[in-house]
Amino acid sequence: MEEYIAPRRKRIPYGMMNFAVIRRDDCYYVDKTRFIPMIEEADKFFFFIRPRRFGKSLTINMLQHYYDILAKDKFEALFGDLYIGKYPTPDRNSYLVLYLNFSGIVGELHNYRKGLDAHCGTTFENFCKIYADYLPQDTLEELRTKEGAVEQLDFLYQACARAGQRIYLFIDEYDHFTNAILSDIESLHRYTDETHGEGYLRAFFNKIKAGTYSSIERCFITGVSPVTMDDLTSGFNIGTNYSLTPEFNEMIGFTEEEVRQMLTYYSTTSPFNHSVDELIEIMKPWYDNYCFAEECYGEITMYNSNMVLYFVKNYIQRGKAPREMVEDNIRIDNEKLRMLIRKDKEFAHDASIIQTLVSEGYVTGELKKGFPAVNITNPDNFVSLLYYFGMLTISGTYKGKTKLTIPNQVVREQIYTYLLSTYNEAELNFSSYEKNELASGLAYDGDWKAYFGYIADCLKRYTSQRDKQKGEFFVHGFTLAMTAQNRFYRPISEQDTQAGYVDIFLCPLLDIYSDMKHSYIVELKYAKYKDPESRVEELRQEAIAQANRYADTDTVKRAVGTTQLHKIVVVYKGMDMPVCEEI
């Protein structure tokens, strides 16, 4: 048997959050240390919100190693060849680092106190043990006489102050309990009790605030939503939210230049079957297009770093794009979107933001830096929440408001999937076996009739009276949502300025399914129930002209590759489909 020889290339740090291990094991690290001096120049109590799986925890871990007084002798090994190794700041390795991770707290809101006490108790004890040489002699023994997180924190920062030490406090996932609030109204009442008046959570943040007058000199706090911040920060009103600040737009996630550098490095150490440009073209529609500051729109967009590492890891192993472009963890995280869409339907049946987003391709709103949980149903707040969760990205301005769109295919797939689940309220399940068979028939056998017939059948079966009133929006949204579940295609929806005209290009995913045979342009038209038959024919003629025009564009010509392009015209009259033909 041949001996296995490990490849001489840097390991991909996919799923890794320990900065020291990434550096020790010679993993590929995208250097973000140039932001350290900027963080130091910012206000000392730094709030930062980014979507899940974007690299927040690794950023916090890197900062801990930079500031920890115990890591002084490891500075060269950890940071020597990075930006900050060449240009260190006077504050490096000069703090006692206190790290709290609220995601590790067990328990719902009604027994949150117990979970918070347990997590803090363990963390504070560990803090006293590792920094024993820097603290008064009896610190640990005395800490054990104090009851609960609030009392222990009070004691701890005073002990540090007596010893002339400075604390850098890091809190990761400070908003861990937001998900419970979003999911049911009972939690909202309990949450209000916890964060208002004499609630324990509020008391804890009040104690942090008191500590900032003593030995807690800096805080760095991250999460995914601005909901709890507003409720907690009237108690902790010295923190500054830098989430929408242009200077920090690129601090978390990867720029395209950073992705290119990574691909270029691996192309010299691994067998590549594509050029860097070709790989960017595959990845960009799926993982790119996040913008975290209005001032940066049109300049630099950010890739989801976790998804990039997932793709590159799989590509190196197999020499081709992964069959699943969305990793499972992202799907699981986005389960939380179900709760949001349910909220959306509750407060605005006819102006549903998600529905508008799918139909119009964008929504407008004012991004809020924070808002109380009780105000989540305010449309601007709901739009902000979708934005912070990574479901929307900044796409300029429209009529004086921020214009927000779905950033990429990963998110679009999730939103369409959940939109279908809201249509499917009557627990009538779409048969996934039937759907998969039809999808395969569409891609490999050119059987478009059965596929679009199935969509029309589902549409009719699941339509409520409310959906019928939305007419064209509903038909378009439903069709898009159904085609987005077809694993062989990426549906691209182009909208014209003319009312009632939309087309969907089912772009074949040839990089994944190289043997598929068929691609499609679908011209979708909608006539009202009461329109005369002549209107249906008029729309059919319009659709034919538009399908031919769209088939002639460079976008389509380049993307169809080796597949046969079909031009399909579909006209709905109300919820019926009198026209479904190939031209």
Domains of the chain, by residue range, sit at 31-243, 254-325, 328-405, 424-582
Mean pLDDT of 305-317: 95
- Residue 143 phi/psi, 5° resolution? -55, -40
Give the CA-trace dihedral at 305, 311, 314, 319, to 10 degrees: -130
Name the more confident of 563 and 501: 563
pLDDT at 38: 98
Amino acid symbol at 61 = N
> Closest by alpha carbon to 533, among 578, 481, 483?
578
Q: Where are the beta strands (DSSP E) in 205-348?
A: 216-223, 240-241, 254-255, 302-303
The DSSP-derived string for 101-142 is EGGG--S-GGGHHHHHHHHHHHHHHHHHHHTGGGS-TTHHHH
> What distance in Å separates the CA atoms of residue 505 and residue 580, rounded to the nearest whole number?
16
Q: Answer yes or no: are the C-beta atoms of 392 and 378 closer than 8 Å.
A: no
Residue 40 has pLDDT above 70, yes or no: yes
**Residue 562 pLDDT > 80, yes or no?**
yes
Q: Tell me, what's the pLDDT at 357?
A: 82
Using CA atoms of 63, 69, 73, 76 in order, give the dihedral in degrees to the nearest 10: 30
Residue 368, C-beta contacts closer than 8 angstroms, at least 6 positions apart: 226, 380, 381, 384
Kindly report the three-state secondary structure assignment for every residue of 199-223: CHHHHHHHHHHHHCCCCEEEEEEEE
Mean pLDDT for all residues in the chain: 85
Cα–Cα distance between 55 and 305 in angstroms, integer? 7
Q: How confident is the model at residue 129 (pLDDT cuts 50, 70, 90)?
A: very high
Say what the pTM is.
0.85
Find where tokens 């998900």 sit.
Answer: 179
Which pLDDT belongs to residue 30? 97
Q: Give residue 306's pLDDT.
A: 94
Residue 535, pLDDT > 70, answer yes
pLDDT of residue 551: 86
Which residues have CB under 8 Å from 152's CB, separation 6+?
120, 121, 124, 143, 146
| pLDDT score of 469 more than 70 | no
Lowest mean pLDDT among 50-54, 246-250, 336-340, 507-511: 336-340
Residue 345 has pLDDT above 60, yes or no: no
- 163-172, 196-205, 447-456: which has the minimum mean pLDDT? 196-205
H helical segments located in 348-471? 353-360, 379-388, 409-423, 432-440, 448-462, 465-470
DSSP 2: P
Q: Mean pLDDT over residues 382-410, rounded?
A: 90
Give residue 426's pLDDT band: very low, low, confident or very high (50, 70, 90).
very low
With 80 as the cut, is the pLDDT of residue 377 above it?
no
CA atoms within 13 A on the CB side of 427: 0
Q: Which two tokens stand for residue 235?
A: 């108690």
Whether the CA torsion 221, 225, 229, 232 is positive or negative: it is negative
Q: Is residue 498 over pLDDT 50?
A: no
**With contact defined as beta carbons under 8 Å apart, do 74 and 80 qualify?**
no
pLDDT at 228 over 80: no
Q: Sorting pLDDT into bands at 50, 70 and 90, what band is 343?
A: low
Least confident of 143-157, 174-188, 381-395: 174-188
Residue 401 and residue 255 in contact, taking contact as beta carbons nearer than 8 Å? no
Question: Sign of dihedral through CA atoms 41, 43, 44, 49?
Answer: negative
pLDDT of residue 471: 73
Question: Among residues 180, 185, 286, which one has the least CA distance to residue 225?
Answer: 180
Per-residue model confidence (pLDDT) at position 386: 87
Q: Are the C-beta atoms of residues 231 and 196 closer than 8 Å to each other?
A: yes
- Please state, in angstroms and rounded to a whole number, the distance separating the CA atoms of residues 503 and 544: 11
Question: Would you tell me how many other CB atoms lie within 10 Å of the CB of residue 328?
Answer: 9
Comparing C-alpha atoms, which of 254, 252, 293, 259 is closest to residue 276?
A: 259
Q: Say if residue 218's pLDDT is above 60.
A: yes
Residue 374 contacts by C-beta under 8 Å, 6 or more apart in sequence? 188, 192
Are 57 and 172 within 8 A, CB to CB? yes
pLDDT over 70, % of the chain = 83
Whether 280 and 263 have beta carbons less than 8 Å apart is answered as yes
How distant, in Å, are the alpha carbons of 50, 255, 409 from that of 290?
A: 11, 10, 12
Q: Band the pLDDT of 427: cuts 50, 70, 90.
A: very low
CATH number for domain 31-243, candidates 1.10.8, 3.10.450, 2.60.40, 3.40.50:
3.40.50
What is the rounded CA–CA span in Å between residue 393 and residue 387?
6
Greater confidence, 5 or 94? 94
- In SS3 terms, 36-56 reads as HHHHHHCCCEEEEECCCCCCH
pLDDT at residue 496, as a whole number: 42
Nearest to 44, CA basis, from 239, 243, 226: 239
Residue with tokens 């002798």: 73
